Amino acid sequence: MTDDTIEPTAQEHKPLSWLRLRSPVVQNLICSCVLAMTPGILLALTAMGAGGGKPNTVSFFNQTNVILYSVFTVSSILAGSAINMFGPRYCLAFGSTGYALYVGGLWYFSNTGREPFPLFTAAYLGVTAGFLWDASGYTSQAYAPERRKALFIAQQWSIICIGSAVGSAIGLSANYNKTKATGVGPAVYGAFIGIHLLAGIIALCFIVDPRTVRRNDGTYLAVFPHASLRDELRGMWETLHNPRVMMFMFAAFALDLWLPILGSWNSFTFSLRARTLNSMVFYLIQIPSAFFCNWLVSTDLVPSRRKRIAYALTWATVINVAAWAAWIQYLAKHNLDRHKPGPALDWTMGRAWAEPFGIYLVMGIMAPVLRNFCLYMCSIASNDPTKQARYNAVLHSMPQAGICVAFGVDSTKIRYLYEAAAWFGVTIASLVVAAIGVALYATETLYGAAGEENVIVPTVEAKTLGIDTHGEMVTIEAKDGAHVAVQGVDEKKV
């Protein structure tokens, strides 16, 4: 830090264009593009059956998924403190390296059938993925003002889905004339590795220090105290005892339980080209679904934020019940034996393909709803970016724990009907807990609240709430060398 100096308040309140590098919107969009180029397209690659076609494929992926998601669960918790200490730029860049190496591991396995190196890449991806997902959640949840948090989350998830859809389109074009469920070709592997590496370069070049990010009204986000390891350990301990966060951890655990069984069912039921089409449309349909969730918690038609949150939770409950019920009904009607080859349904088969394809689309509508709701509830637990890094870390670790358990269950080849029914029950239970959390802890705003003293309130909200934003402007040095001013703060904190 440099010596503090005082500057006039008026100099820091000139309206700014959103189209600039240090804009919260632009930073979120850049981060979203990095995500689209890493886990976004990787989701599509796994849906296409990467690494398949070997006698030990099933056991290999069982080991891979357990290693990846168990390590991911732990690394996600640790990455929150790393973001506060080193910033999102380096966490994003580091996070992207695991995806390129992992795809290389899958490519190696598809050619040789040997497991040690690919299993190492899975563990490495588990480490790096925690950093990437936490850094991305940090930008969407900490950079946005309260009234736009849901929009930032929806934008980020939608761009991830675009990445997945593009990845699926690559696979579909490569496999369009194939009806048998064979593996992924070398051209697809090579294209995906190149995209993953480019994502890391983009993060290094264009993600900036959060201290230098300014809203369109000219205000900065917050005061960023010096982050020491001791402070982070104490902050994480406080996070794990924060009821605002803990009430939504169970819901977060359940929000991705569908992922292993849906991917398994897709691979078992459809031909290669049909499942790549399923994957592409599945991710595309999530985009309007995500923005509808944003509209529910942001619309001016309902003045009360608590009521908007209640409506969003109601929608999450309705779509989850509808999607799971439709799928369970289909599974009950079709007694699929997982110990025999699947039907390899193709779009040339008419209704036999159309019915499960329709269910796949309904699951796509459902997929982002509970996820975005949980992230939104996490984002409004505090407006302080330092706290958000920790809250986001804990909340992002829980879905990975759930996925790890779900992959373990799916690896036993239990009947799809029983597995789906079990996860449906867990999802309903998580929605009940989330409803209790909403009733107890949903508030109209946290601007000006106790414990939020480091937050610089946006100009419009400050005027609406009658918060005095006039005070000293303290200039500090950011991590990238830029000098920024923070308003009305205690100099001892910086």
The answer to whether the CB of 185 falls within 8 A of the CB of 46 is: no
Task: Write down the pLDDT at residue 166.
Answer: 85
Q: What span, in angstroms and rounded, lies between the C-alpha atoms of 165 and 155?
A: 15
| 131 assigned to some structural domain | yes
| 28 assigned to some structural domain | yes
Residue 155's contacts (CB-CB under 8 Å, 6 or more residues apart) are 28, 29, 32, 140
Amino acid code (one letter) for 492: K
Digitized pLDDT (tens) for each residue of the chain, 494 residues in all: 334 433 334 344 678 998 999 999 999 999 999 999 999 888 667 656 666 555 556 678 778 988 999 999 999 999 999 999 999 999 999 999 999 999 999 999 888 888 899 999 999 999 999 999 999 999 999 999 999 999 999 999 999 999 888 878 877 877 777 655 456 778 878 888 999 999 999 999 999 999 999 999 999 999 999 888 999 999 999 998 888 888 888 889 999 999 999 988 998 899 888 888 998 999 999 999 999 999 999 999 999 999 999 999 999 999 999 999 999 999 999 988 888 888 999 999 999 999 999 999 999 999 999 999 999 999 999 999 999 999 999 999 999 999 999 999 998 889 999 999 999 999 999 999 999 999 999 999 999 999 999 999 999 889 888 887 654 444 444 444 544 444 444 433 43
Sheet containing 6-7: give its strands across: 6-7, 473-477, 483-487
Q: What are phi and psi of 455, to 5 degrees?
A: -80, 130
Q: Are strands 6-7 and 473-477 parallel, antiparallel or unpaired?
A: antiparallel
CA neighbor of 122 nearest in space, from 400, 444, 429, 471: 400
| 130 assigned to some structural domain | yes
The answer to whether the CB of 214 falls within 8 A of the CB of 52 is: no
Q: Tokens standing for 390?
A: 């920790």
Residue 6's DSSP bridge partners are: 474
What distances in angstroms separate CA 408 from CA 62, 69, 260, one per listed residue? 7, 11, 9
Virtual torsion, Cα 116, 117, 123, 124, nearest 10 deg: 160
Q: Tokens standing for 478?
A: 């950011």
Evaluated on CA atoms 39, 399, 433, 243, the torsion sign reads negative
CATH of the domain at 342: 1.20.1250.20
As a whole number of Å, the end-to-end CA separation of the chain is: 8
Reported as a single tens digit per residue, the pLDDT across 434-493 is 999 999 999 999 999 999 999 999 998 898 888 876 544 444 444 445 444 444 444 334
Q: What span, in angstroms and rounded, lies between the C-alpha atoms of 386 and 397?
A: 17
pTM of the model: 0.90
Q: What span, in angstroms and rounded, lies between the C-alpha atoms of 129 and 57?
A: 23
Domain count across the chain = 1
| 210 assigned to some structural domain | yes
Task: Write down the pLDDT at residue 48.
Answer: 61
Angle made by CA atoms 422, 66, 130, in degrees to the nearest 5: 105
CA neighbor of 270 nearest in space, from 173, 417, 139, 172: 172
| 451 assigned to some structural domain | yes
* Full residue range of the structural domain in which residue 28 is found: 6-490
**DSSP state at residue 485:** E
Residue 345's DSSP bridge partners are: 270
Q: Tokens standing for 370?
A: 């509970």
Task: Write down the pLDDT at residue 247.
Answer: 85
| 1 assigned to some structural domain | no
Q: Tokens standing for 477?
A: 């040095």
459 CB-contact burial (10 Å; exposed 0-12 / middle 13-18 / buried 19+): middle
Specify the long-range contacts of residues 299-305, CB closer than 8 Å, at least 24 apart. 304/444, 305/380, 305/442, 305/443, 305/444, 305/445
The answer to whether the CB of 116 falls within 8 A of the CB of 367 is: no
Q: What is the CA radius of gyration of the chain?
A: 23
